[in-house]
Structure 1
């Protein structure tokens, strides 16, 4: 069963993603690419590491 997936994504990232899906050989629908990425992540094929740190606010 398929379920809709709605989330907000930064505009420039989304535009580039759409462009790259269209330019891929063969052209791939965005949902197929997203499903593949999600499935690989769920299977532990890759991990995402985020380094979070505070940035000095130069406006103060």
Structure 2
């Protein structure tokens, strides 16, 4: 391994502000239970808005059913 990739694996090389923002997002959204059987709402509640396009959502719904 080279030094650049080794530093990327080191926990101290991680930006602490980014970790704090991620932890807050997970605390707010990550543990929120989705109490529905509607797969579209389930996926929308699980992933951040904009991560899955409408075309991808349609493909996932086709696989789901």
TM more than 0.5: no
Q: Taking structure 2 as the reference length, what is the TM-score of the superposition?
A: 0.29
The structure having more radius of gyration, on CA atoms, is 2
Structure with the larger RCO, 1 or 2 (CA within 8 Å, 6+ apart): 2
Higher relative helix content: 2
Q: Taking structure 1 as the reference length, what is the TM-score of the superposition?
A: 0.31
